[in-house]
Amino acid sequence: MVVFVFSRKRCDDNAQMLSSMNLTTEVEKQHVRSFFAQCIQRLKGSDKELPQVLTMRELCLRGFAVHHSGILPILKEVVELLFQKGYVKILFATETFAMGVNMPARCVVFDSIMKHDGTEKRLLNPGEYTQMAGRAGRRGLDSTGTVVIICKDQSVPQPDILKNVICGQALRLESKFRVTYAMILNLLRVEQLKIEDMLQRSYVESDSLRESKDKRITLKDARQALGAMESIDCDTCSPNSQLRDFHDALFNFVCRREAIWPRLYEENVINKLVCSGRFIIVSNAAYQLQNECVLLVKELNNKTLQVLVPSKDADETSQKNSETAMFAKLPKAQMSWIAEENAMLSATKFGTRGSSQCPSNIRSFRLCEIPLTSVVAITKKVIKNIQSAEIFQEYNMSLIPRFRSIKIQMTKINHKYFFRDREVSENVKKLIQQISSSVSALRNKELETYSWKELGSFCQNLDLSLETDVMDSLENDLNIANGFPARHCTRFEEHFHILRERIKLERRIQGLEYELSTDALLLGEEYNNRLKVLEALNFVEKKMVSLKGRIACEIHHQELLITELILDYKFHQRSPAELAALLSTLTCQYNCGKELQFGSDTVFGQISESIKSVLTRLDAVAAKYKSQISDIGCEIRFDLMQVVYEWANGTPFYKIMEMTDCQEGLIVKCIQRLDEVCKDVSFSFRNAGRIVGDPALVEKMEEVSASIRRDIVFAASLYTTV
């Protein structure tokens, strides 16, 4: 079983809390003990006795383990192998475990479906969820996999939220292509390139190219389909794009209406109008409502209204309910497309504020939850003191099969009232009769509704008069008999449908064109900004890569800062250990959580001062050209300087662990990346450095490497050597 916990500390805490539990047999313990001993064998002396090693061994012996970035790489591998062999029964892991090697489990548990992603606490997205939940079920061993989501503090997630996390469309894995300084320098060095060529070239290495290629193909197809589309041949609709004008006016009106309700609702007076017992007119695609007159029974807090919708009989009710269930399964884009069309067609059929004809023989009702944005108009008719509690009780009972009547006697149906196929109580029946008579009474005469002007005049806090005036005039245009000839076309629905298909394609084309243009634009902008930074800092001179630039282009991490530091003679006079400490600031990802103070007379004080002064200068130049020196997440951190200094001076790992709260795995990561930087720098100086006149630097970088490459930090991987 894997338990995903989105915090290193909570992973550790969870494992510690179960210290009294023992999940392994004596035989299994024997295996774990010998496997552990065999793996640890390759560590030197005191490294074998590191607290993390001992703790993990103790956990594994009892069938538990922890896996996250704070764990030493070699221990992570031990845990992975023991887990694969089935000796680790319960593993507490962070998300990284799901990204790595294939490690299926019978059961996956989510400690929470919220995670902190560095900037905010948010819900897991469907892609992340699938990545982790997909670990449940081992091929050939389990017929099914189990996923458990723990709901703490009685907070069970809303079904629709959960549904989106579990079944939602996975966000495309976005490996955002970035233009780095080194990349620009390398390209400029090869030959003089035009920006477009450069973008095209660097694009080749990125996913963006494949993506934009796909987009271009889709765009071409869409354009072709649009060209091949049948045109509407109609004396009423076609001339001067009459139908199109009508559609656009209608669309404008419907969009504005959707936007204005939530704003009006903020006003107390209007909020009070939207009360239990009020008749309102609504259009909603999910419930197949077209300007339907419904009774508001309850106003829910999240701008959702519960309404009773009259229905002819139980059959019609259940049929409509199943259509609603179907609608909910559609993709989101399709839902909003249908909703948009439904609102427009309703307004065409019944007028912008008119109501559809209510059935005369009402025998049943549906209870629907609709958003505020589905409201078409608020009527002036209210039923006082409505017994909504009783309605809900009846409704809920109707959902439970055993409370439904066994069989409806068709002969008696005329005297009975139903929720679904369950006959309602006498009280509710009376209420329904009361509503029916009101609706029927309203049916024949024009239903009086509040005009936009009236609603606007009620507002006390916001001045919405401008908006309501626009609504009124749009409504007027749409309603006058000879405003838009197209709406009187005898084949209106058919022609409207053809037009809508065309619009669907047009929107698709527009969307693709926009995406393609912004992709290229953003990249071009980033390139231009960074090129200006390079010119301002003399990495590029007269469109040519300078000597400085040639050094920087071989370094793959913080290339500008490192080059400036070297050429500023900040590397001079520094011992290998001091240089290691200096470089650790570029690769450290540990944040101790407090402001570090180094005395200006100490080595660390001098190092941090010299880095800060160079960085401030570079940052100022970059900011001027709307760019940055350090990418997000790669900022300079001084937190591990002392630790790395001691390590480079030969201090054993257990001793340096006593100096810091930083977890073992993060220290190892920092030092390993530091070694990569050393290699880059010495490679770069082997190529270009001699001209600069500091051959000693290559030697020095190799000394730094030699001082840090030892023991547990560079222990060989179990996967390649076992």
- What is the spatial order of strands in the sheet that 90-93 belongs to? 64-67, 90-93, 2-4, 107-110, 146-149
Instruction: Please say which residue, 279 or 492, places its beta carbon nearer to Zn ion.
Output: 492
Q: Is 234 in the site for Zn ion (CB under 5 A)?
A: yes
Stretch in the footprint of Zn ion (CB under 5 A) among 234-242, 255-263, 324-332, 338-346? 234-242
- Stretch binding Zn ion (CB under 5 A), from 18-26, 444-452, 484-492, 579-587: 484-492
Q: What are phi and psi of 146, to 5 degrees?
A: -115, 135
Applying CB under 5 A, which part among 80-88, 397-405, 486-494, 598-606 lies near Zn ion?
486-494
CB 510 to Zn ion: min, Å: 25
Residue 630 interacts with Zn ion (CB under 5 A)? Answer: no
With CB under 5 A as the rule, give the number of residues binding Zn ion: 5
The Cα–Cα gap between 643 and 670 comes to: 11
Among residues 199 and 499, whose Cβ is nearest to Zn ion? 499
Task: Decide whether 236 or 356 has the Cβ nearer to Zn ion.
Answer: 236
Question: Minimal CA–CA distance to 66: which of 5, 136, 150, 145?
Answer: 5
Cβ closest to Zn ion, residue 237 vs residue 622 = 237
288 exposed, middle or buried (CB, 10 Å; 0-12, 13-18, 19+)?
Answer: middle
Instruction: Tell me the closest approach of the beta carbon of residue 242 to Zn ion, in angstroms.
Output: 8
Note whether 489 binds Zn ion by CB under 5 A. yes
Q: Which is nearer to Zn ion, 89 or 244 (CB)?
A: 244
Residue placing its CB nearer to Zn ion in the complex, 132 or 234: 234
Which residues contact residue 559 at a Cβ distance below 8 angstroms, ignoring those fewer than 6 apart?
180, 181, 182, 185, 552, 553
Q: Is 499 in the site for Zn ion (CB under 5 A)?
A: no
Q: Which is nearer to Zn ion, 483 or 524 (CB)?
A: 483
Distance CA 266, CA 713 (A): 60
Q: From residue 192 to residue 231, what is the string marking binding to Zn ion with x (rule CB under 5 A)?
A: ----------------------------------------
Stretch that binds Zn ion, among 30-38, 213-221, 236-244, 428-436 (CB under 5 A): 236-244
Residue 119, both tokens: 């900037």
Rounded CA-CA distance 359/443 in Å is 9
Distance separating alpha carbons of residues 275 and 299, to the nearest angstrom: 7
Identify whether the C-beta of residue 244 lies closer than 8 Å to the C-beta of residue 499: yes
CA nearest neighbour of 416 among 403, 400, 429, 401: 429
Give the nearest distance from C-beta 253 to Zn ion in angstroms. Answer: 20
Minimum CB distance to Zn ion smaller for 122 or for 488: 488
SS (H, E, C) 132-173: HHCCECCCCCCCCCEEEECCHHHCCCCHHHHHHHHHCCCCCC
Q: Which stretch binds Zn ion (CB under 5 A): 95-103, 333-341, 495-503, 693-701?
A: 495-503
Among 101-109, 369-377, 481-489, 544-552, which window interacts with Zn ion (CB under 5 A)?
481-489
Strand residue runs (E) in 507-635? 540-541, 544-545
Q: What angle do CA 174, 175, 179 make, to 5 degrees?
A: 130
- Give, rounded to a whole angstrom, the gap between the first and last alpha carbons of the chain: 25
Least Å distance, CB 234 to Zn ion, is 3
Q: Which is nearer to Zn ion, 234 or 562 (CB)?
A: 234
| Angle at which helices 576-587 and 559-567 cross, to 10° | 150
- Establish if 98 lies at the interface with Zn ion (CB under 5 A): no
Stretch binding Zn ion (CB under 5 A), from 5-13, 214-222, 371-379, 487-495:
487-495
Shortest approach of Zn ion to residue 322 CB, angstroms?
33
Least distance CB 369 / Zn ion (angstroms): 37
Minimum distance between the CB of residue 490 and Zn ion, rounded to whole angstroms? 7
Dihedral of alpha carbons 550, 555, 557, 561, sign: negative
User: What minimum distance in Å lies between the beta carbon of 235 and Zn ion?
Assistant: 8
3-class secondary structure per residue, 17-72 = HCCCCCCCCHHHHHHHHHHHHHHHCCCCHHHHHCHHHHHHHHHHHCCEEEECCCCC
* Nearest to Zn ion of 264, 489 (CB atom): 489
3 is a site residue for Zn ion (CB under 5 A): no
Residue 241 touching Zn ion (CB under 5 A): no
What residue has token string 């409370």?
403
Distance CA 414, CA 671 (A): 83
Q: In the complex with Zn ion, which residue's Cβ is closer, 489 or 671?
A: 489
- In sequence order, what DSSP letters do the residues of 264-280 get, joined into one string? HHTSHHHHHHS-TTEEE
Of the listed pieces 22-30, 347-355, 457-465, 483-491, which binds Zn ion according to CB under 5 A?
483-491
Which CB sits closer to Zn ion, 238 or 672?
Answer: 238
For the CB of residue 491, give the shortest distance to Zn ion in the complex, in Å.
5
Residue type, 255: C
Q: Write down the least CB distance from residue 237 to Zn ion, Å.
A: 3
Closer residue to Zn ion in complex, CB, 242/627: 242
Which of 130, 186, 236, 321 contacts Zn ion by CB under 5 A?
A: 236
By CB under 5 A, which span of 200-208, 491-499, 580-588, 709-717 interacts with Zn ion?
491-499
Which residue type does 570 have? K
237 is a contact residue toward Zn ion (CB under 5 A) = yes
Q: What are phi and psi of 365, to 5 degrees?
A: -140, 155
Out of 135, 257, 298, 495, the residue judged to bind Zn ion by CB under 5 A: 495
What does the binding site for Zn ion look like in residue numbers (CB under 5 A)?
234, 236-237, 489, 495
